[in-house]
Amino acid sequence: MRRIKHSKVKNTGLIFELLVRQVASDTMNNTPSKALRVIKRHFRPKSELSKELKLYRTVSETKFNTESKAEKFIDAVVRSRKTINESQLRRDKYNLIKDLKSNYNVDEFFKSRVNNYKLHASTYKLFEHSEADDPKEYVSSKFTVSDYIQEEPARKLDEPKLTSEHKDVRILASKILVDKFNEKYSKLSAEQKRILREYINNVTNSVNLKKYVITETSKLQKIISSFQTKVPSKVVRIKLKEVANLLNTLNKNHVVEDKDVLTMLRYYELVNELKKIGSK
């Protein structure tokens, strides 16, 4: 019985998502994007890689309200995956991985946190293996995908949606991305913009981002603690002490996630409000 194992470097959906995030980072820095060139070179329309990517994105974007519909959908997607030219797909993946290695430190590239990593991994196992390889693991992967496509998507407010259409991939590198970002975050403070920039710029370097968050949480703790003696309300002082202590949890996380960045933004907003009170 062949063991079902996930391979990051062969997961088309995961690679594409990381490339898109890298393009966003390059665009924010106004630097030529090697990631965009990789996307254009390897995800050409009608290529086997593009066909497989379309299936990955179909799984991640489709929702059903019943388990039976979800299971039939998964079976249909797996059948569709079998129609792809396997030998050509292997060659395409080999060239894609070779291109990634020539442009990036692959170990660092794949360290980036991906929210739907488990879905990508389970989809990969369904595509690359059969039930006969490891029935238990195969069924487990199928249920993971089934559970996901039955859930309501956790949409972020005003989050720009990146579709799998290739014309949209080309548009991704244009100034539209920057315009969207500026429009959404134009009212943020300098500190809030900085944490967002660090998050985007270090999309493939979780170590640097972690160091930045640790430094900033220390600063925030000191600032919030300094206001405890300035606030007249005893209740508010107690709350501020609790809030300052909660910052310690961010330092204990092994990897900085989206929710942690959102928490940091809220802390910066709290500091801004405290400064307004202190100036009165």
For residue range 145-174, list pLDDT tens digits in order.
999 998 664 444 444 444 444 544 444 444
CA distance 167 to 88: 23
Tell me which residue of 169, 170, 116 sits closest to 145, measured CA to CA.
Answer: 116
The average pLDDT across 55-61 equals 92
Taking the CB of residue 91, how many other CB atoms lie within 10 A of it? Answer: 13
| Whether 74 contacts 55, CB under 8 Å | no
What is the CB-side half-sphere exposure of residue 249 using CA atoms within 13 A?
11
How much is the mean pLDDT over the chain? 80
Closest CA to 24 of 234, 238, 169: 169
Indicate the length of the chain as a whole number: 280
Query: Among 19-33, 149-163, 213-227, 254-268, whose mean pLDDT is lowest?
Result: 149-163
Tokens 């497989």 appear where?
52
**Tokens for 260?**
């942690």
List the single range of 84-93, 213-222, 268-277 with lowest mean pLDDT.
268-277
If DSSP codes are grouped into helix, strand and coil, which group holds residue 34?
A: helix
Tokens of 13: 């959906």
- The H-or-E segment that residue 141 falls in is helix 135-150
Q: For residue 73, what pLDDT is reported?
A: 95
Report, as an integer, the average pLDDT of 2-13. Answer: 89
pTM of the model: 0.59
Q: What is d(CA 128, CA 76) in angstroms, rounded to the nearest whole number?
A: 15
Q: Of 72-86, 219-233, 266-280, which has the strongest mean pLDDT? A: 72-86
Confidence of residue 277 (pLDDT cuts 50, 70, 90): low
Domain positions in the chain are 8-176, 187-278
First-to-last alpha carbon distance for the chain, in angstroms, is 72
> What's the whole-number mean pLDDT along residues 36-51?
91
Angle among Cα 206, 209, 212 to the nearest 5 degrees reads 155
Are the C-beta atoms of 45 and 104 separated by less than 8 Å? no
CA distances from 50 to 9, 39, 47, 259 (A): 16, 10, 5, 31
Q: Is the pLDDT of residue 194 over 90?
A: no
Four-CA torsion 201, 207, 208, 210, nearest 10 degrees = 100
Q: What's the CA gap between 197 and 206, in Å, rounded?
A: 14
User: Which is more confident, 95 or 28?
Assistant: 95
- Which one is predicted more confidently, 195 or 91? 91
Judging by beta carbons within 10 Å of its beta carbon (0-12, 13-18, 19+), is residue 263 exposed, middle or buried? middle
- pLDDT band at residue 30, thresholds of 50, 70 and 90? confident
Over residues 264-278, mean pLDDT: 79
**Separation CA 164–CA 61 (nearest Å):** 10
